[in-house]
């Protein structure tokens, strides 16, 4: 929901402006567990959002000029952070995202494919 996004943005802004150093673990907890996680009822989804946010909310993302979210380097912090540069970067991304981008093991993709096939076949 937009209200959740706005709340998280305000929390992030407040923490960054009021703290000498960015409290990444606190931010991960507040955003993933309380703000967004407060609406999640499934325990597996709670674990998923925590894993995803751990990947994207880290010191490495901010302090590295070449941080990558995937081993192949396709998913990374773009070099050109202008609006046009970000749009160009997003336009070249693949249609299907690898599980590693979300902090998940490759087996998550296999499990998803098996379950999708079973649902399709009516098992």
In this predicted model, what pLDDT tens digit does every residue of 39-77 receive, in sequence order?
778 888 888 888 878 878 888 887 777 788 888 888 888
Q: In terms of domains, do 123 and 75 share one?
A: yes
Instruction: State which of 42, 63, 84 marks the end of a domain.
Output: 63
Task: Give the domain range for residue 30.
Answer: 1-63
Q: In terms of domains, do 90 and 114 share one?
A: yes
More confident residue, 83 or 96: 83
Q: In terms of domains, do 3 and 57 share one?
A: yes
Q: Is the pTM of this model over 0.95?
A: no
What is the structure's pLDDT at 16? 83
Alpha carbon distance 84, 57 (integer Å): 23
Instruction: State which of 63, 94, 110 marks the end of a domain.
Output: 63
pLDDT, average across residues 104-115: 86
Residues 11-41 pLDDT 10s: 888 888 888 888 888 888 888 888 776 777 8
Q: In terms of domains, do 75 and 116 share one?
A: yes
Q: In terms of domains, do 43 and 1 share one?
A: yes
Count of the separate structural domains present in the chain? 2
Q: In terms of domains, do 56 and 82 share one?
A: no
Q: In terms of domains, do 8 and 37 share one?
A: yes
């Amino acid at each position: 929901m937009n209200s959740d996004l706005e709340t998280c943005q305000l929390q992030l802004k407040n923490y960054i402006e009021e703290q000498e150093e960015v409290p990444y673990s606190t931010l991960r907890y507040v955003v993933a567990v309380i703000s967004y996680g407060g609406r999640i009822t499934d325990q597996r989804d709670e674990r998923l959002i925590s894993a995803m946010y751990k990947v994207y909310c880290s010191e490495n993302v901010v302090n590295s000029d070449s941080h990558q979210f995937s081993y192949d380097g396709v998913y990374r912090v773009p070099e050109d952070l202008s609006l046009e540069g970000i749009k160009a970067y997003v336009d070249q991304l693949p249609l299907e995202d690898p599980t590693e981008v979300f902090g998940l093991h490759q087996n998550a993709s296999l499990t998803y494919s098996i379950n999708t096939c079973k649902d399709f076949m009516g098992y």
